[in-house]
Amino acid sequence: MKNSKLLLIVLLAFMAMGPLRAQCMAEEGRVPGTVIRHEPASGGVYVGAPSIAIMPDGSYLVSMNFTSIQGGDHGKVHRTAVYASTDAGKSWILLTELDQQRWSTIFSHRGLTYLMGVDQAFGNAVIRKSTDGGKTWSSPVDPKNGLLAEGRYHCAPVPVILYKGRIWRAMEDALEGREFRAFMMSAPVDADLMDANSWTFSQKLGFDRAWCDQSMLGWLEGNAVVTPDQQVVDFLRCGFKNRKHSTAAMVHISPDGKNASFDPTRDFVHFPGASKKFTIRYDSLSNKYWSLVNWIQPADMLLLEQKRASQIRNTLALVSSKNLSDWIVERIILYHPDTEYHAFQYVDWQFENEDLIAVSRTAFDDAFGGADSYHNANYITFHRIRDFRDSYNPFP
């Protein structure tokens, strides 16, 4: 009871202070970070699904896709662009645009570059290969050349990790609507990743709307993560009817990648920003897991009376954990007081020495009236978070 009262006092104190300010705020009206792509809302498309990779030569590659503002996921725009930077993110050049590719992770493996996602919203699971650093790409024409599975698949730019001789990536499918089933894909690290036969699909687990007092709405956009006890899990974003906005799910994957299990009595975990997409990675230098999330600040909690938690994306926070269950907010990276037309969301990132480098689907002001909405972003932006391990916890 004493701890509950103390937590309430701390929460009220922060609400009285107003939103925690980002350490590096942009000038008023000026989009933060370095702009990679700008699409005015008047063009009828919004930008999203950014993914970033560091190449063996130290250059960066970023992939991102376009979505129809009017048609949304059901529109006819299923195009991905690939950008490169050779000056540590200061400037970017367009390498190519690909039709029939979206929601993809870009990554380097054994000297080759890959794009792994779907060919359209709720489409086939596919992978493409580039042998020239992202300029040209293979086409997923059949199961021997990147067509991994036919059906209604869904994903996001989430981590591809190597562990115990296998490469792992989380994915979902939906037999109808948005009734997502979570599963893990994996393949031997020395296999031909373009061959569908190389990949093992785990058991596919659906969610139960009765979980968490009949409030469960779904799970999606999972992360492949290795736990402190050396088990691969699918760490998933979750949605709920009530105000639960810091609860994620951990689906446990067997070592051979075939079985998946979830116990609702113990496998829901605390995670700031769990109702929005996130990327989790482990840092061996700090022995911590890190993520950039859309945390809802104490001063913004009242917004939950009018909005779903998944609609509040105006704060980007750096969080960390030693065990995947107990997370702390280390610092605020970006913030804007408006939640209708401003957001820093779907952030993907990588470690680079003492820094984190990140890409964001950013809704912000421009000379053409700004973003269509917080969700329908008009920018893809690059950010460098310096000395991320020297963070501080605002809750002493």
What are 239's strand-pairing partners? Answer: 218
Q: Which two tokens stand for residue 342?
A: 């401003």
Q: Does residue 243 have a pLDDT over 90?
A: no
Q: Which residue has the higher pLDDT, 86 or 393?
A: 86
Task: Indicate the pLDDT class of residue 74, thresholds 50, 70 and 90.
Answer: confident
Dig out the tokens for 70 from the structure: 């009017």
Indicate the fold that domain 2-390 takes in CATH: Neuraminidase (2.120.10)
Which residue type occupies 153?
Y
Report whether pLDDT(226) > 50. Answer: yes
- Quickly state the pLDDT bin for 75 (edges 50, 70, 90): confident
Q: Where are the domains of the chain?
A: 2-390
Residues 6+ apart with CB under 8 A from 7: none
At residue 245, the pLDDT reads: 87
Retrieve residue 176's tokens: 């109808």
Instruction: Give the separation between CA 373 and CA 340, rounded to whole angstroms.
Output: 6
Q: What is the pTM of this model?
A: 0.91
The answer for residues whose C-beta is within 8 angstroms of residue 290's C-beta and 6 or more apart is 280, 281, 282, 283, 318, 319, 320, 356, 388
Which pLDDT tens digit goes with each residue over 343-378? 999 999 999 999 999 999 999 999 999 999 999 999
C-alpha–C-alpha distance, residues 51 and 363, integer Å: 17
How far, in Å, CA of 152 to CA of 370, rounded? 33
pLDDT > 90? residue 396:
no
What is the 3-state secondary structure of the chain? Answer: CHHHHHHHHHHHHHHHHCCCCCCCCCCCCCCCCEEEEECCHHHCEEEEEEEEEECCCCCEEEEEEEEECCCECCCCCCEEEEEEECCCCCCCEEEEEEECCEEEEEEEECCEEEEEEECCCCEEEEEEEECCCCCCCCCCCCCCCCEEEEEEEECCCCCEEEECCEEEEEEEEECCCCCEEEEEEEEECCCCCCCHHHCEECCCEECCCCHHHHCEEEEEEEEEEECCCCCEEEEEEEEECCCCCCEEEEEEECCCCCCEECCCCCCEEECCCCCCCCCEEEECCCCEEEEEECCCCHHHHHHHHCCCHHHCCCEEEEEEECCCCCEEEEEEEEECCCCCCCEEEEEEEEEECCEEEEEEEEECCCCCCCCCCCCCCCEEEEEEECCHHHCCCCCC
| 342 pLDDT above the threshold of 70 | yes
Half-sphere exposure in the Cβ direction for 193 (13 Å, CA): 27
Percent over 90 (pLDDT), the chain: 84
pLDDT greater than 70 at residue 395: no
Confidence at residue 270, expressed as pLDDT on a 0 to 100 scale? 95
pLDDT per residue as tens digits for the range 284-317: 999 999 999 999 998 889 898 888 999 999 999 9
In the chain, the percentage of residues whose pLDDT exceeds 70 is 91
pLDDT at 21 over 70: no
The residue-averaged pLDDT of 216-231 equals: 97
Sheet with strand 34-38: strands edge to edge: 34-38, 379-385, 355-363, 343-352
Mean pLDDT highest for which of 1-5, 6-10, 72-76, 145-149? Answer: 145-149
Burial of residue 353 (number of CB atoms within 10 Å: 0-12, 13-18, 19+): exposed
Q: Which of 377, 375, 356 has its CA nearest to residue 366?
A: 377
Residues 343, 34 contacting (CB under 8 angstroms):
no
pLDDT tens for each residue of 109-164:
999 999 999 999 999 999 999 999 999 999 999 999 999 999 999 999 999 999 99
- Supply the mean pLDDT for the chain: 91
pLDDT band at 197 (very low <50, low <70, confident <90, very high): very high
Average pLDDT of the residues in 44-71: 96
What's the pLDDT score for residue 394? 55
* More confident call, 13 vs 120: 120
pLDDT at 40 over 50: yes
pLDDT of 393 over the 70 cut: no
Q: Residue 224: is its pLDDT beyond 60?
A: yes
